[in-house]
Amino acid sequence: MEKAVALAPDLAVGYGVRGTLRSRIAWDLQGARDDIKQAVALEPSNVPVLILYAQTLFFSGEQDEAFAIDRKATTLDPLSPDAWSGLGWHHAFAGQFAAARAALQRSLEIKPDGQWPNFHMGYMDLKEGKTASASDYFRRAPVAFGTTGLAMVEYTLGHERESQQLMAELKEKYAVGFAYQIAQASAWRGDKDGAFEWLEHAYDQHDAGLYRLRYDPMLAGLHDDPRFAALVKKMGFSE
Protein backbone atom coordinates (compact mmCIF):
# COMPACT_ATOMS: atom_id res chain seq x y z
CA MET A 1 0.00 0.00 0.00
CA GLU A 2 2.95 2.36 0.48
CA LYS A 3 3.60 2.19 -3.26
CA ALA A 4 -0.06 2.76 -4.10
CA VAL A 5 -0.10 5.93 -1.99
CA ALA A 6 3.20 7.10 -3.47
CA LEU A 7 2.00 6.56 -7.03
CA ALA A 8 -1.42 8.18 -6.51
CA PRO A 9 -1.20 10.57 -3.57
CA ASP A 10 -4.34 12.42 -4.70
CA LEU A 11 -6.61 9.37 -4.56
CA ALA A 12 -8.50 8.53 -1.38
CA VAL A 13 -8.60 4.77 -1.88
CA GLY A 14 -4.91 4.17 -1.13
CA TYR A 15 -5.07 6.06 2.14
CA GLY A 16 -8.32 4.33 3.07
CA VAL A 17 -6.98 0.84 2.50
CA ARG A 18 -3.68 1.60 4.23
CA GLY A 19 -5.54 3.10 7.16
CA THR A 20 -7.72 0.02 7.45
CA LEU A 21 -4.68 -2.25 7.48
CA ARG A 22 -2.97 -0.06 10.04
CA SER A 23 -5.93 -0.14 12.44
CA ARG A 24 -7.03 -3.74 12.09
CA ILE A 25 -3.80 -5.60 11.40
CA ALA A 26 -0.98 -3.40 12.73
CA TRP A 27 -3.11 -1.81 15.53
CA ASP A 28 -1.59 1.55 14.69
CA LEU A 29 -4.68 3.62 15.44
CA GLN A 30 -2.95 6.97 15.17
CA GLY A 31 -1.46 6.10 11.79
CA ALA A 32 -4.83 4.75 10.68
CA ARG A 33 -6.57 7.91 11.77
CA ASP A 34 -4.09 10.08 9.89
CA ASP A 35 -4.47 8.03 6.71
CA ILE A 36 -8.24 7.89 6.73
CA LYS A 37 -8.51 11.56 7.67
CA GLN A 38 -6.43 12.31 4.57
CA ALA A 39 -8.73 10.10 2.50
CA VAL A 40 -11.74 12.05 3.80
CA ALA A 41 -10.02 15.34 2.98
CA LEU A 42 -9.53 14.15 -0.60
CA GLU A 43 -13.05 12.74 -0.98
CA PRO A 44 -15.32 14.18 1.75
CA SER A 45 -18.44 12.55 0.28
CA ASN A 46 -16.96 9.04 -0.08
CA VAL A 47 -19.30 7.04 2.16
CA PRO A 48 -17.14 3.88 2.52
CA VAL A 49 -14.22 6.07 3.58
CA LEU A 50 -16.42 7.92 6.07
CA ILE A 51 -17.54 4.60 7.56
CA LEU A 52 -13.91 3.57 8.05
CA TYR A 53 -13.11 6.94 9.59
CA ALA A 54 -15.99 6.68 12.07
CA GLN A 55 -14.85 3.22 13.15
CA THR A 56 -11.26 4.38 13.63
CA LEU A 57 -12.42 7.36 15.68
CA PHE A 58 -14.80 5.31 17.81
CA PHE A 59 -12.25 2.67 18.75
CA SER A 60 -9.65 5.35 19.41
CA GLY A 61 -11.96 6.78 22.08
CA GLU A 62 -13.27 9.77 20.09
CA GLN A 63 -16.85 8.64 20.10
CA ASP A 64 -18.70 11.95 19.74
CA GLU A 65 -16.76 12.70 16.56
CA ALA A 66 -17.37 9.14 15.36
CA PHE A 67 -21.13 9.56 15.71
CA ALA A 68 -21.00 12.83 13.75
CA ILE A 69 -19.19 11.06 10.90
CA ASP A 70 -21.62 8.13 11.07
CA ARG A 71 -24.57 10.48 10.72
CA LYS A 72 -22.93 12.25 7.81
CA ALA A 73 -22.51 8.88 6.05
CA THR A 74 -26.18 7.96 6.51
CA THR A 75 -27.22 11.41 5.24
CA LEU A 76 -25.05 11.17 2.15
CA ASP A 77 -26.25 7.66 1.33
CA PRO A 78 -29.44 6.75 3.20
CA LEU A 79 -29.62 3.44 1.30
CA SER A 80 -26.20 2.22 2.46
CA PRO A 81 -26.70 -0.73 4.82
CA ASP A 82 -23.09 -0.38 5.96
CA ALA A 83 -23.56 3.25 6.96
CA TRP A 84 -26.58 2.41 9.11
CA SER A 85 -24.82 -0.67 10.48
CA GLY A 86 -21.81 1.39 11.56
CA LEU A 87 -24.01 3.93 13.31
CA GLY A 88 -25.99 1.20 15.05
CA TRP A 89 -22.89 -0.78 15.99
CA HIS A 90 -21.37 2.25 17.71
CA HIS A 91 -24.58 3.09 19.56
CA ALA A 92 -24.76 -0.54 20.74
CA PHE A 93 -21.19 -0.49 22.01
CA ALA A 94 -21.92 2.80 23.78
CA GLY A 95 -24.90 1.18 25.52
CA GLN A 96 -27.41 3.37 23.66
CA PHE A 97 -29.70 0.54 22.69
CA ALA A 98 -32.74 2.50 21.46
CA ALA A 99 -30.66 4.47 18.96
CA ALA A 100 -28.75 1.32 18.06
CA ARG A 101 -31.92 -0.62 17.29
CA ALA A 102 -33.30 2.13 15.07
CA ALA A 103 -30.13 2.27 12.97
CA LEU A 104 -29.55 -1.48 12.81
CA GLN A 105 -33.17 -2.14 11.88
CA ARG A 106 -32.81 0.33 9.02
CA SER A 107 -29.71 -1.54 7.85
CA LEU A 108 -31.60 -4.85 7.99
CA GLU A 109 -34.50 -3.39 5.98
CA ILE A 110 -32.00 -2.67 3.23
CA LYS A 111 -29.98 -5.88 3.62
CA PRO A 112 -31.76 -8.52 5.74
CA ASP A 113 -28.79 -10.89 5.95
CA GLY A 114 -26.33 -8.25 7.17
CA GLN A 115 -23.61 -9.76 9.34
CA TRP A 116 -23.09 -7.06 11.92
CA PRO A 117 -26.68 -5.84 12.29
CA ASN A 118 -27.91 -9.36 13.04
CA PHE A 119 -25.07 -10.06 15.45
CA HIS A 120 -25.44 -6.80 17.34
CA MET A 121 -29.23 -6.98 17.48
CA GLY A 122 -28.79 -10.47 18.90
CA TYR A 123 -26.28 -9.19 21.44
CA MET A 124 -28.61 -6.40 22.63
CA ASP A 125 -31.56 -8.75 22.94
CA LEU A 126 -29.44 -11.22 24.87
CA LYS A 127 -28.19 -8.44 27.14
CA GLU A 128 -31.83 -7.61 27.90
CA GLY A 129 -32.76 -11.25 28.52
CA LYS A 130 -34.70 -11.71 25.28
CA THR A 131 -33.17 -15.07 24.48
CA ALA A 132 -35.70 -16.20 21.86
CA SER A 133 -35.34 -13.12 19.67
CA ALA A 134 -31.57 -13.09 20.27
CA SER A 135 -31.42 -16.64 18.92
CA ASP A 136 -33.39 -15.61 15.85
CA TYR A 137 -30.96 -12.81 15.06
CA PHE A 138 -27.92 -14.99 15.66
CA ARG A 139 -29.28 -17.65 13.30
CA ARG A 140 -29.49 -15.03 10.56
CA ALA A 141 -25.84 -14.04 11.01
CA PRO A 142 -23.00 -15.85 9.17
CA VAL A 143 -22.30 -19.20 10.76
CA ALA A 144 -19.22 -18.37 12.85
CA PHE A 145 -20.86 -15.27 14.31
CA GLY A 146 -24.15 -17.09 14.75
CA THR A 147 -22.49 -19.98 16.57
CA THR A 148 -20.73 -17.50 18.85
CA GLY A 149 -24.04 -15.89 19.74
CA LEU A 150 -25.88 -19.17 20.23
CA ALA A 151 -23.16 -20.42 22.58
CA MET A 152 -23.85 -17.32 24.65
CA VAL A 153 -27.62 -17.85 24.50
CA GLU A 154 -27.40 -21.47 25.64
CA TYR A 155 -25.17 -20.46 28.54
CA THR A 156 -27.63 -17.74 29.55
CA LEU A 157 -30.45 -20.30 29.49
CA GLY A 158 -28.46 -22.57 31.80
CA HIS A 159 -27.87 -25.14 29.05
CA GLU A 160 -24.20 -25.74 29.82
CA ARG A 161 -23.84 -28.91 27.75
CA GLU A 162 -25.33 -27.29 24.64
CA SER A 163 -23.19 -24.19 25.16
CA GLN A 164 -20.05 -26.29 25.55
CA GLN A 165 -20.88 -28.19 22.36
CA LEU A 166 -21.17 -24.91 20.43
CA MET A 167 -17.91 -23.68 21.94
CA ALA A 168 -16.23 -26.91 20.87
CA GLU A 169 -17.55 -26.39 17.35
CA LEU A 170 -16.18 -22.86 17.28
CA LYS A 171 -12.74 -24.01 18.43
CA GLU A 172 -12.65 -26.91 15.96
CA LYS A 173 -13.85 -25.05 12.87
CA TYR A 174 -13.04 -21.40 13.45
CA ALA A 175 -9.90 -21.24 15.59
CA VAL A 176 -8.17 -19.34 12.80
CA GLY A 177 -9.98 -16.17 11.82
CA PHE A 178 -12.47 -16.07 14.68
CA ALA A 179 -10.29 -16.29 17.79
CA TYR A 180 -11.68 -12.92 18.87
CA GLN A 181 -15.26 -14.21 18.71
CA ILE A 182 -14.30 -17.27 20.76
CA ALA A 183 -12.84 -14.88 23.36
CA GLN A 184 -16.11 -12.91 23.38
CA ALA A 185 -18.17 -16.03 23.99
CA SER A 186 -15.75 -17.22 26.68
CA ALA A 187 -15.98 -13.87 28.46
CA TRP A 188 -19.78 -13.97 28.32
CA ARG A 189 -19.67 -17.42 29.90
CA GLY A 190 -17.53 -16.08 32.74
CA ASP A 191 -14.51 -18.08 31.61
CA LYS A 192 -11.78 -15.47 32.04
CA ASP A 193 -8.92 -17.90 31.52
CA GLY A 194 -10.48 -19.11 28.28
CA ALA A 195 -11.14 -15.55 27.14
CA PHE A 196 -7.53 -14.51 27.67
CA GLU A 197 -6.26 -17.69 26.03
CA TRP A 198 -8.24 -16.86 22.89
CA LEU A 199 -7.31 -13.20 23.00
CA GLU A 200 -3.69 -14.33 22.94
CA HIS A 201 -4.49 -16.53 19.93
CA ALA A 202 -6.12 -13.48 18.34
CA TYR A 203 -2.98 -11.47 19.07
CA ASP A 204 -0.76 -14.11 17.49
CA GLN A 205 -3.02 -14.18 14.40
CA HIS A 206 -3.29 -10.37 14.21
CA ASP A 207 -7.04 -10.88 14.33
CA ALA A 208 -8.83 -7.84 12.92
CA GLY A 209 -11.24 -7.81 15.86
CA LEU A 210 -8.61 -6.80 18.37
CA TYR A 211 -8.65 -3.12 17.43
CA ARG A 212 -12.03 -3.01 19.24
CA LEU A 213 -10.54 -4.47 22.43
CA ARG A 214 -10.84 -1.49 24.79
CA TYR A 215 -14.41 -0.58 23.86
CA ASP A 216 -16.07 -3.97 23.35
CA PRO A 217 -18.81 -4.39 26.00
CA MET A 218 -18.67 -8.17 25.58
CA LEU A 219 -15.21 -8.04 27.14
CA ALA A 220 -16.11 -5.64 29.95
CA GLY A 221 -15.93 -8.44 32.52
CA LEU A 222 -12.22 -8.76 31.82
CA HIS A 223 -11.26 -5.17 32.56
CA ASP A 224 -10.49 -5.74 36.24
CA ASP A 225 -8.04 -8.52 35.45
CA PRO A 226 -4.39 -7.38 35.19
CA ARG A 227 -4.05 -9.49 32.06
CA PHE A 228 -6.35 -7.06 30.25
CA ALA A 229 -4.16 -4.03 30.96
CA ALA A 230 -1.11 -6.08 29.99
CA LEU A 231 -2.66 -6.96 26.62
CA VAL A 232 -3.68 -3.36 25.97
CA LYS A 233 -0.09 -2.29 26.69
CA LYS A 234 1.37 -5.06 24.54
CA MET A 235 -0.74 -3.92 21.61
CA GLY A 236 0.54 -0.39 21.99
CA PHE A 237 -2.78 1.11 23.04
CA SER A 238 -3.09 3.61 25.87
CA GLU A 239 -5.30 2.37 28.70
Q: Is the pLDDT of residue 8 over 70?
A: no
C-beta separation of 94 from 63 below 8 A: yes
For the segment 127-173, what is each residue's pLDDT rounded down to a tens digit? 999 999 999 999 999 999 999 999 999 999 999 999 999 999 999 99
Whether the model pTM is above 0.85: yes
Mean pLDDT, residues 195-205: 97
Distance CA 85, CA 70 (A): 9
* pLDDT, position 25: 84
Q: Quick one: pLDDT at residue 191?
A: 98
Average pLDDT over residues 69-96: 98
pLDDT tens, position by position, 202-230: 999 999 999 999 999 999 999 999 999 99
In percent, how much of the chain has pLDDT > 70? 94
Q: How high does pLDDT run on average in the chain? A: 92
pLDDT at 19: 79
pLDDT value of residue 7:
41
Contacts of 165 by beta carbon, 8 Å cutoff, 6+ apart = none
Alpha-carbon span 165 to 235, nearest angstrom: 32
